[in-house]
Structure 1
Amino acid sequence: MAAGSGATTATGAAAGTGEQKDEYVKPFTPEKAKEIIMSLQQPAVFCNMVFDWPAQHWTAEHLSKVLHGKQIRFRMGMKSTDTVPQFETSCSYVEATLEEFLTWNCDHSSISGPFIDYDYSKFWAYADYKYVVSLFEDKTDIFQDVIWSDFGFRGRNGRESTLWIGSLGAHTPCHLDSYGCNLVFQVQGRKRWHLFPPEDTPLLYPTRIPYEESSVFSKVNVVNPDVKRFPQFQKARRHVVTLSPGQVLFVPRHWWHYVESIDPVTVSINSWIELEEDHQARVEEAITRMLVCALKTAEDPHSTRAWLNPTEVEETSHEVNCRYLNRAVSALFDHYRTSKTAEVQALRTNGEHMKKEEFNVHTLMEVEQTGSQNLTLGTVGEQAASPFGPDLVPVLPSSEAPPAETGGMFKNDGKGFVGKDGEHFDKLHFTKKQRMVSGRENEIVEQIVSYSTMAPSQTFISTDDLLDCLVNPQVTKIVAQLLIQGRSL
């Protein structure tokens, strides 16, 4: 399927006749698109859904005129590839305008200004996680250029969106988002996405250092993995897709992703969609925040630079984190006590006996599991036709090995196209982002064994080693459930 293929027309005008096409028809109604998004358990690409969005013209050059003179923070990273991921704590940062970025990116011969110390042949630049509501604070009309309501999310537009502008090689380290699912609209240039399913979490060697709320990072550089240090990663099921302008990628909850720009300039717009399971995820995040901040601050009370992500600028005191945890737990209980969710109704209709006063962790777990079973397209074939077709293409597992260098590219044969309420913890609309990772005990054991046999002579255990165990996503899930159960007795 070619990128940028034309949408279906209502008039059926023949191509090449010179006749003006009167009307474009989108392949999915907003209701159907939302049904797919809320049901699908694998990444997929929507085509022909955004051809009439004004935001399709948000190229870097266009935005440089709209944001003329506005200072934007760019993350600077090395184009050379190491086996160690380039986390944001190891990058440098530059304050510059989009005009200065484009000059540096396009005219490599004579560079001055903020980028003067960064050789284009060696560095990439990334203006990532730029909240549209902050960038265009005095131009609020521009929020209407982004129309997520076409995907069934009424009222959602640029106000709940994030902008990404990068040069060739710019990328985010492999991570999963604790909250929500993700919709990504590719505006300019192409980006390659490497995705891994939630069940492969033990194989990705998760870590919370550097710490950032709602981001679980992988210790593995997935495009240049150190298989001696991380042997289990070889079993991970990589899905690869090259996202082209005009396409929208759906990333389901808890799918790992590494994203790299493969064209000279790339522009993307995304929005994280809240999900029912986020209530427990916030409790898990609060537990993680408290443990990481307590141990790392005790280790070095004078510096957070080495372990706190630059995007995480909030207080890390134990008192603040205690309040954060308590608000997260209270919000979860308030939600389940006051809302008559579809999952609870499903439990009752399925013959499960649940008295209102028997509110405990088992109820929450049953609700989660029932909801997941009812919303999985893996078994929907018996009930309805597959949603996949020319305008919705699944991202399939890749049989190709990762390139040896960042500049190396997978061949693209066409098949690859596949409200903020004031509460401190509720950051979905304006920060980075449940189907929680299911237990694969044998893989966890194998991972532990691989750690122990990796370097037999290494007996020193660091604070980070301990945290990798204490705040492993599967561990914090159990801790959160025990905590919720204890409060509900």
Structure 2
Amino acid sequence: MTTAAGAGRDSGGGGEGELVKPFTPEKAKEIIMSLQQPAVFCNMVFDWPAQHWNAKCLSKLLCGKQIRFRMGMKKTDTVNHPQLDGAVFVCICDIAHRSIRCVLNAVPQFETMCSYVDATLEEFLVWSCGQSVSVAGPFSHYDNSKFWAYADYKYLASVFEDNTDVLQNVVWSDFGFPGRNGRESTLWIGSLGANTPCHLDSYGCNLVLQVQGRKRWHLFPPEDTAFLYPTRIPYEESSVFSKVNVVNPDLKHFPQFLKAQRHMVTLYPGQVLFVPRHWWHYVESIDPITVSINSWIELEEDHQARVEEAITRMLVCALKAAEDPTNTKAWLNPTEVEGTSHEINSQYLNGAISAYLEHNKVAEALTSTEFKINGEHRVEAPLKKRKLDVHTRTKEKKSPCHKLATDTAKLEENIPFGLDLIPVLPSLQNESSEKGTAESDVKGLVSESGGHVEKLNCAQEQPVMNKAEIPLAGNIVSDSTTCHSQPFISTDDLLDCLVDPKVISLVAQLLLQKRTCNL
């Protein structure tokens, strides 16, 4: 076991005060590459300097640097604010002649529906604490009892471009990824109620460190994709959104959502949540101020996924731009700052296909670098990061990718769940999504010193969920039959079919086959 000083579990046999981490980096990586359900790691980051990066500390480190905050409403049934463009809401939801209040109750608060302010962390802290703000200040138009603020998707390499030494304070090498630190991580700072709409990430798996405050995670397995009513509008590369407001679902329009198996967990400071590939998640801050740091771990499967994303981008941009060339803000997420022209997207697609084919050649040539973990072959190969920093679209360094275990059911039998690794279990059926819903109980596992396990409250005797097959295309649920008032098939309806994951996967395979035959 790795030993460390500061906080954690006493080794029992070492010197006085000697503390240990429950998993070696090699074992932690083995767990991550094997798990097919979310789980919470405890006692793994007590010696990380980034563990002390609360909002006040970050404010000092940033020295007055401004960052962008996304502004949203806490209670959508009580607020009608002029700063939030009602016309955009009506356009996106396609339900003209209704008020903002009705629209927001019906759909998630997508990023295209929010307004944005640039502010320092000092200004954010003053506003979030309810203190009086300057009349001319960035938050002056937002009552903090009605609005939340979220600095999300902030790449640490960009945030600390003038102080890169602090990037070493994030030590993902403890989880078996040597050299991975803050440079491959993103920062999330939010106020009470700040949330990320329910979505799945097309690339990689996810490790999330909670630094300050608590966040509640609602997660759904990949096999429930049909019940989440996936959409690519708003479009963002690598993010597939759900049409459902999962904390206040409209079951009249989305009745199949009742079949989705919700998993819930509240993440406390000092804990690290593992989110497996293609798990849906909605995340909400439940304390006045929250700070999180995450890193998306590249996987072997991402190579084909990038081809599929390039196809999706080309189709979405072509149809939506043709529908209304002057209003990309209605369907293109603010994180997508690159051009949407057909020429650019065509280059992107050809580049993704070429990279996929080149990677296959390299992988075949690197058989000598294969290594085994529990009998499973793994190959290290270069892969780009999940997302590009929207502020600094520079050429990235290449990162290693990791192959998921193929016989995961067998490996999961040996996962050491317990005090230091807590499975996120399914919630009980027929319970409210907001009140009374069962969740993995990690409250009480955390000491005041920050995320260290003291007792285990979750029922470990409950079975670990195995990965189920993704429904066939014929079983994909469409909400079009429930919208009796819709007199025609819209562009978005057509896109829902064209960019369905099953359809896109087939198109990608055909393109790759065609390209291979032409070589």
State the TM-score bracket (shorter-chain normalisation): 0.7 to 0.9
The residue that corresponds to 1:247 in the other structure is 271
| Residue 433 of structure 2 corresponds to residue 440 of structure 1 | no
| Residue 31 of structure 2 corresponds to residue 36 of structure 1 | yes
Contact persistence 1:51–1:246 (CA under 8 A)? yes
Cα root mean square deviation, aligned: 2.7
Contact persistence 2:33–2:405 (CA under 8 A)? no
Note the C-alpha offset of 1:80.
Answer: 1.2
Contact persistence 2:126–2:133 (CA under 8 A)? no
Task: Letter of the 2:325 partner, please give it.
Answer: P
Q: Against the structure 1 CA distance between its residues 147 and 58, is the aligned structure 2 distance closer, same or farther, given a 3 Å change threshold?
A: same
Contact persistence 1:45–1:417 (CA under 8 A)? no
The residue that corresponds to 1:480 in the other structure is 508
Q: 2:112 aligns with which of 84, 89, 97?
A: 89
The residue that corresponds to 1:23 in the other structure is 18
| Residue 490 of structure 2 corresponds to residue 462 of structure 1 | yes
Contact persistence 1:283–1:329 (CA under 8 A)? yes
Note the C-alpha offset of 1:456.
Answer: 3.1
The residue that corresponds to 2:499 in the other structure is 471
Contact persistence 2:130–2:144 (CA under 8 A)? no
Deviating more after overlay: 330-339 vs 256-265: 330-339
The residue that corresponds to 1:74 in the other structure is 69
The residue that corresponds to 1:328 in the other structure is 352
Distance 1:133 1:400 in 2: 42
Q: Against the structure 1 CA distance between its residues 259 and 302, is the aligned structure 2 distance closer, same or farther, given a 3 Å change threshold?
A: same
Note the C-alpha offset of 1:484.
Answer: 1.2
| Residue 427 of structure 2 corresponds to residue 398 of structure 1 | yes
Note the C-alpha offset of 1:388.
Answer: 1.1
Contact persistence 2:428–2:438 (CA under 8 A)? no
Distance 1:207 1:322 in 2: 22
Task: Letter of the 1:117 partner, please give it.
Answer: H
The residue that corresponds to 2:121 in the other structure is 98
Contact persistence 2:68–2:151 (CA under 8 A)? yes
Task: Letter of the 2:247 partner, please give it.
Answer: V
Runs of 4+ in 1 over 6 A off after TM superposition: none
Alignment of 1:47-446 (within 5 A): 47-81=42-76, 82-109=105-132, 112=135, 113-340=137-364, 374-376=406-408, 378-380=409-411, 385-399=414-428, 414=441, 438-441=470-473, 443-444=475-476
Q: Against the structure 1 CA distance between its residues 119 and 400, is the aligned structure 2 distance closer, same or farther, given a 3 Å change threshold?
A: farther
Aligned residues between the structures: 431
Note the C-alpha offset of 1:478.
Answer: 1.3
Distance 1:417 1:386 in 2: 23
Contact persistence 1:393–1:417 (CA under 8 A)? no
Aligned partner of residue 158 in structure 2, secondary structure = helix
Contact persistence 1:50–1:246 (CA under 8 A)? yes
Q: Against the structure 1 CA distance between its residues 165 and 389, is the aligned structure 2 distance closer, same or farther, given a 3 Å change threshold?
A: same
Note the C-alpha offset of 1:436.
Answer: 12
Distance 2:9 2:173 in 1: 20
Note the C-alpha offset of 1:26.
Answer: 0.3
Residue identity (%): 69
Contact persistence 1:437–1:474 (CA under 8 A)? no
Contact persistence 1:40–1:375 (CA under 8 A)? no
Note the C-alpha offset of 1:177.
Answer: 0.4
Q: Against the structure 1 CA distance between its residues 269 and 381, is the aligned structure 2 distance closer, same or farther, given a 3 Å change threshold?
A: closer
Task: Letter of the 2:410 partner, please give it.
Answer: T
Give 5+ residue unaligned stretches, structure 1.
14-19, 351-370, 419-434
Aligned partner of residue 386 in structure 1, secondary structure = coil
Aligned partner of residue 331 in structure 1, secondary structure = helix
Note the C-alpha offset of 1:389.
Answer: 1.5
The residue that corresponds to 1:8 in the other structure is 9
Note the C-alpha offset of 1:171.
Answer: 0.2
The residue that corresponds to 1:359 in the other structure is none
Q: Against the structure 1 CA distance between its residues 437 and 233, is the aligned structure 2 distance closer, same or farther, given a 3 Å change threshold?
A: same
Contact persistence 1:174–1:218 (CA under 8 A)? yes
Q: Against the structure 1 CA distance between its residues 272 and 404, is the aligned structure 2 distance closer, same or farther, given a 3 Å change threshold?
A: closer
Note the C-alpha offset of 1:270.
Answer: 0.2
Note the C-alpha offset of 1:345.
Answer: 8.8
Note the C-alpha offset of 1:417.
Answer: 8.6
Distance 1:215 1:141 in 2: 31
Note the C-alpha offset of 1:481.
Answer: 1.2
Contact persistence 2:126–2:132 (CA under 8 A)? no
The residue that corresponds to 1:364 in the other structure is none
Note the C-alpha offset of 1:250.
Answer: 0.4
Q: Against the structure 1 CA distance between its residues 287 and 161, is the aligned structure 2 distance closer, same or farther, given a 3 Å change threshold?
A: same
Distance 1:478 1:128 in 2: 33
